[in-house]
Structure 1
Amino acid sequence: MKNGIISSFLVVIFAIGCKKAYKSEVNSSEKVLYEVVFRENLAGKYEKWPTGENSFEFYYTYTDRGRGPEYSEKITLNDQNFISKQTIKGVNYRKVPVDEKFSTGNSAATWSNPKESTQGDFYGSELYFRYDGSPAVYEILARLLITSPDKKVELYPRGLAELVEIFPQTLSDSISLDLLMIKGLDMNPTYLWMDGNEMVASISGNLHVIREDYKEKRTALKKLQDSVEDVYLMDITQKLTVPINKVVIQNVNVFTSEGKLLPNQDVFVDGETIEAVRPSAQKKIPENTRIIKGEGKTLMPGMFDMHTHNSKFRGLLHVAGGITSVRDLANNKQLKTLSDQFNANEIIGPRIVTFCGIIDGPGPYANQRNVINNLEEGLAEIQVYKDLGYDQIKLYSSIKPEWVKPMADKAHELGMRVCGHIPSFMTASQAIDQGYDEIQHMNMLFLNFLSDTIDTRTPLRFTMVAQHGANLDLTSKEYLDFVDLLKKNDILIDPTISIFENMFVSQKGQPSPTYNTIMNRLPIINQRAFYAGGLPKNEETAPLYKRSHDNMLNVVHDLFQKGVDIVPGTDGLPGFLYHRELELYEKSGIPASEVLKLATITSAKLTGVSEEYGSIVAGKKADLILIDGNPVDTISDIRNVEWTMKGGNLYYAKELYESMGIQHFN
């Protein structure tokens, strides 16, 4: 890895200097201010200030389309610089109230968070890591890691964080900072920019927290961090890629495009191509052929996630979960570069088979990736996306209804599809009449039966459906006419039903049913996110919200039965959420074999790549996954991916997961 591990000698010298700097900073009375930038727009702020010896207060907030957290936080440190007392009040990203407490005394700790209210032994040398709150704990952790002899810090009540590497960086004006790479918190490494012993910036995907005096250097810091991240991922790719030449998967059960299992087959692969599929022992295995035993297991085509937002870190999760092809339904305009990295195996990731450019209108709830101010700008953006090689455009909630038809007409003239959210103050039926080819998210269908006066730019697009979705009558004329409209116009529906299970059904303080099966396999931060409870609920609304989600499942099944095209997509955690999406389709009443067809050959046909992908047939590309079990009989076996084959390379799921701090299924 470039830059190497910094020498222990240098770390010790650095740590001694930081210890002194920390004490002087704590005693300072000045408030330190940070900007919070989300999707390249100023979205909030982070403030910290001392209130006494080893005591601080913090305020943190940002907004994202009507969502976003707001926390007021108080922390006291002990003599070892570990947290001895902490209170956090406010609301989380989905506006669920937060009231978290931690306190210590007499070799014991008491805490109350979304998961539990309890106590345990505490001797002062472990770091309590909150569920929700400001970036404060990351800065405290960084200081502790810098001074730790083994560069590790025990987390409380469980967990371990490790300082993997310090990357000294010099900016163009000769300012020197250190970029810390920390593992053990999240599936991806946590990166922090430090100036001596104080956090200058935290850059994580689209969310950037940057100290005010460094705000003009934010893009430079991001560029430097991107290079470090790329080297890290390229190193993983080199270590975990197994190039293949001639391979036979022997005596395996093959899932066919008809939705059946062909038992006891030998599947011959030559590089990237399926050479033959024959009953076991019918064809002699050539010399110098790698043999993979497949007894009792299922060989499937690589699956298609039809609603993703890709990043370089998400690629590993897709491939580990058996997903080799994806549609990207909104990203930045550099997506082709990431796709090239995936395809060249510079970074492990899926094949992006559909590129979709997002366009939103102006206003306080705009999706900040690409905002237009008038129709002329919108028409120009469609041309820009076409020139970049994109296949379709996605219209978002702040698009003015009167812009939809001319924008759809422009896209269709260029041979592009039109999809998206239904713009605010518009119904799905109206959007279809004005040119939509597909609709994202099941809530957008349910909103069709409520009112075109709802400001669906806001979280009302979720809460109104949660409150009224249970009442949608699938035998009513209004609903049946809408289904006829979908069929008449060949509208594709992308339900993302699993994200609504997490919103509508999960309860604060309890494991989300969406992630319960896998959450204990994940790093600590990921586990904790699944206790948040989705939308705010009380004893009255919780049963109602669940009935609304049950009715969403009824609609998924009904649309499938009536011949409306539906496709499995996630819009969330790659791999794991996709598996849950398939489980919920089966729960709705769709047979498992049909669900697996949707995930493979049907999605391949709908994306126009079925000549090469989506089924296991001689002459097609060898995008393959080996499943320990039989998902046709038990759909949840789809989680048991042993390996994924893509582009002439083999990737073992266990190794991919371990690189992210995730336990394998077995």
Structure 2
Amino acid sequence: MTRLLAFILAGVATPALSATTERLSVVRNGETIGSVVAVSDGRRVSVDYRVDDNGRGPKHREDIVLGPDGIPVSWNIVGTSLMGGPVVERFAWANGTATWTSQADQGSLSAAKPPLYVVNDTSPWANGIYARAALAAGGRSLDVLPGGKLKLARIRSTTIAGVSVTVYRLDGVDLRPSYVMLDKTGRLFAAFGDASVTIRAGLETRAADLMKLAASLESDRVRAISAKVAHRYDGPIRIRNVHIFDPVTGRRGPLSTIVVMRDAISAVLPGDGGPVPDGETAIEGDGGTVYPGLHDMHSHTTIDSGLFYLAAGVTTTRDMGNNNAFLQALLPAVEDGAISSPRIVPTGFIEGRSPYSARNGFVVATLDEGLKAVRWYADRNYFQIKLYNSMNPDLVKPLAEEAKRLGMGVTGHVPAFDSPDRVIRDGYNTIAHINQLMLGWVLDESKEDTRTPLRLTAMTRTPALDLSSGPVRNTIALMKANTVSLDTTAVTLERLMLSRARQVETADIDNLDHLPIGYQRYRKRTFVPLRNAGDDQAYHAAFDKMLDVMRLLHRNGIQLLPGTDDTTGFTLQREVELYTMAGMTPAEALKAATLDCETYLGRADRGGTIARGKLADLVLVAGDPSSNINAIKRPKMVMRGGTVYLPSEIYESLGIRPFASPPTIVPARPDLTNGGVGGSTGALFGWPRDDHDD
């Protein structure tokens, strides 16, 4: 390590005899989707970072000047972000003062030496800089600008393609950690996470190995957290003094007691249920409300997304497309409890082959390839298939027919050059994303290409849309006649259209200041290109029109499925809140996110209500969400199949300031009538964990 640090510092301090170029490729699902090209000349580094995945991706240039200790004294970034929004970010340290400006913020700070600045519009190359800076500081945590601490952990050393590398994990500034690989000279070899790998050019075929390594490392981390936060009990659990929300009646009942044994509800009793019998663990509800677990019907599962979801009261997700090998490996770990997660309902992703293809699931060019993909998913008991942007419209019908023949449903985007009406006739059960539906009324599907960011930017045409027009009425009639639902993801549209630089968007007001500084800054940005004030007004008007469409669909009996296209849990809470802004009562919105989802999934006999024999998937909050939907944003306790989770514990383990205190939990007394059986095999909040069942 001493030799490595000496090499790093010497390399930074001594001007190079000539410029050095380093090239890396960004690989996702086996295909190259971007690049990093860094040219170093002494202390100056120019980085070109480009990603083109599914018609979108960041594209920017970084110009960096490194100080003698490897920490940048100047860092300028110019380009565009994920959906084409402008990026102009600058940091500089000179004469004892650090200054910065970004989409999210601006500021200055007196500093005797250059502090480590964490960029808002980041890149894999930036992660390499952070790792080297932390190593130069002795491998300890570093205070960083504009706030927070960066923590470096050495994970392991290995050899990839004959190169000796060391893997490091970076924690502390974002919702999730980052991983980097440095070679013996301290140069960046790879950076990776759950979806893609950035690796030295020429070694792209090794990206799959790094994906497996990333999955293993994150699995180890998440398994360790899961072991601490999942509380399991041998005997019955009594949840006392709670009001139960019933989605069927839409009412919050009188004080009751819920008894849970293993994974199911064994009794619902009036009042406090009387004295707690020996051998039973008691959870004091203090007059709060218990409702069935929430559903995110448009998720893309990651190894740690389950922790975020459970902390937010989400006990079921519908995975709408993933790396197939990853998901197949994850599902057994979720079912045996090693990975804390909601129940996952898998949907099989099938994309058409084009320059704009998304790199998930299967990417197919022919009908035969598509049919093989459908059968692969059917053999593995997937709930549905999902068709995507680049799918040939002529293949939709035969693929849908095959899926239904094999017992699966069909959902997806409206493919480019197709229309909502046609995909409904061709066999869709559900359309994914409200913009995919609305754009069918404002685009010329024969000419305009929705494989590009047009599928978002064209929403500016919707404010003038007449919802009583023939095209709108025809589509709604088709949806009703074919019992077609809409997976709304309204919160994602809200974020993309209304997020603005240096502003806290309305959707984030209730939670953003609890989250790590890196995520806070990420949320304070403009995602869409804004040429003038008219564009800004058009996006706000489009958001209002989106709510009008949701209101119209609900009035016409079209099922709306709450989904997010996100994995933080907070966004699902906001999605349900948006349902109330679109005209539903809080009780109706709760029903849409609980019982209605279970009905859609064909599981209403097992879940969706609090009743004897139903699965113990439920949430405890202090307030009354049937009158104030905002109450769902502060869960005190979440139960998934009888396993108790305390959101405060989960959030603390993830570096998030908790939103609510946990309920009082009284351990079971030995049940002397049953030979002393009773008590907990899991840790209790505030009690020693040395009896935990790992």
Task: Compute the TM-score of the two structures, normalised by the length of structure 2.
Answer: 0.90
Separation in 1 of the partners of 2:282 and 2:565? 37
Partners in 2 of 1:174 and 1:61 — Cα distance? 27
The answer as to 2:513 corresponding to 1:520 is: yes
1:69 corresponds to: 58
Q: Deviations over 1:77-130 (max 9, x none)?
A: 223322211111111111111111112222112222112343332322421111
Query: What letter corresponds to residue 476 of structure 2 in structure 1?
Result: V
After superposition, residues 302-317 of structure 1 pair within 5 angstroms as 302-317=293-308
> Is residue 171 of structure 2 the alignment partner of residue 183 of structure 1?
yes
Shift in CA distance, 21/329, structure 1 to aligned 2, threshold 3 Å: same
1-structure distance, mates of 2:307, 2:272: 35
- What's 2:339 paired with? 347
Whole-Å separation in 1 of the counterparts to 2:170 and 2:88: 27
Aligned to 1:468: 461
Question: Residue in 1 aligned with 2:691?
Answer: none
State the Cα distance separating 1:165 from its structure 2 match. Answer: 3.3
Task: Say yes or no: does 1:531 pair with 2:532.
Answer: no
Deviation of 1:13 after TM superposition, in Å, equals 6.5
Separation in 2, partners of 1:397, 1:215: 26
Does residue 401 in structure 1 map to residue 393 in structure 2? yes
- 1:651 alignment partner in structure 2: 645
Task: Indicate how the Cα distance of structure 1 residues 150 and 395 shifts in structure 2: closer, same or farther if over 3 A, else same.
Answer: closer
- Whether contact under 8 Å (1:234, 1:346) holds in the other structure is yes
Q: Percent identity?
A: 32
Match of residue 592 from structure 1: 586
Does the residue aligned with 1:448 lie in a helix, a strand or coil? Answer: helix
SS in 2 for 1:252: strand
Counterpart for residue 7 of structure 1: none
The answer to whether structure 1 residue 365 and structure 2 residue 353 are counterparts is no
Contact 2:104 2:522 in 1 (8 A): no
Distance 1:373-1:213 versus aligned 2 partners, 3 A rule? closer
Alignment of structure 1 residues 193-208 onto 2, 5 Å: 193-196=181-184, 197-208=186-197
5+ residue gaps, structure 1: 1-10
Aligned partner of 2:667 in structure 1 is none
Higher relative contact order (CA 8 A, sep 6+): 2
User: Which residue of the partner structure matches residue 162 of structure 1?
Assistant: 151
Query: For residues 26 and 235 of structure 1, what CA distance do their matches in structure 2 show?
Result: 44
- The separation in 2 between residues aligned to 1:256 and 1:31, in whole angstroms, is 63
Change (3 A) 1:550 1:151: same
Question: Which amino acid counterpart does residue 270 of structure 2 have in structure 1?
Answer: P
In 2, the alpha carbon distance for the partners of 1:176 and 1:200 equals: 10
Deviates more, 1:326-335 or 1:600-609: 326-335
The 5 Å alignment of 1:136-535 reads 136-149=125-138, 151-171=140-160, 175-196=163-184, 197-212=186-201, 214-244=203-233, 245-257=235-247, 258-334=249-325, 335-352=327-344, 354-369=345-360, 370-450=362-442, 451-453=444-446, 454-465=448-459, 467-535=460-528
Q: Report the Cα distance in structure 2 between the residues aligned to 1:411 and 1:586, rounded to whole angstroms.
A: 34
What CA distance in whole angstroms lies between the structure 1 residues aligned with 2:424 and 2:21?
Answer: 52
**Deviation string for 1:43-68 (max 9, x for gaps)?**
1211112233x221111111012211
Q: Which amino acid aligns with 1:192?
A: V
Q: Does 1:557 align with 2:547?
A: no
Q: Tell me which moved more, 253-262 or 20-29.
A: 20-29
The reply on whether 1:576 has 2:570 as its aligned counterpart is yes
What one-letter code is carried by the residue in structure 2 that aligns with 1:485? L
Query: Structure 1 stretch 594-603 or stretch 136-145: which is displaced more?
Result: 136-145
In the TM superposition, residue 214 of structure 1 has moved relative to its aligned partner by: 4.2
Q: Deviations over 1:589-645 (max 9, x none)?
A: 100001001111111111011111111101111111111222112111111011211
CA shift in 2, pair 1:617/1:27, >3 Å: farther
Give the corresponding residue for 1:610: 604
In 2, the alpha carbon distance for the partners of 1:27 and 1:590 equals 68
* Structure 1 partner of 2:560: 566
SS at match of 2:364: coil
1:303-356 deviation digits (Å, cap 9, x = unpaired): 11111111212111111111111111111223233121111111111111x321
Contact kept, 8 Å, 2:30 with 2:207, in 1: the verdict is: no
The structural deviation recorded for 1:168 is: 2.0
C-alpha distance after superposition, 1:204-235 (max 9, x if no partner): 12221111254443333332332222222111
Distance 1:24-1:222 versus aligned 2 partners, 3 A rule: farther
Q: Does 1:629 align with 2:607?
A: no
Shift of 1:412: 1.6
Would the alpha carbon gap of residues 403 and 224 (structure 1) be closer, same or farther in structure 2, given more than 3 Å must change?
closer
Give the residue type in structure 2 aligned to 1:176. S
CA distance in 1, matches of 2:139, 2:206: 32
Q: What is the TM-score of this pair, normalised by structure 1?
A: 0.94
> 2 CA distance for matches of 1:332 and 1:114?
32
Q: State the one-letter code of the partner of 1:384.
A: W
What is the number of residues matched between the two proteins?
Answer: 652
**CA RMSD after TM alignment:** 1.9
Aligned to 2:33: 43
Equivalent residues in 2 for 1:9-20, closer than 5 Å:
15-16=5-6, 18-20=8-10
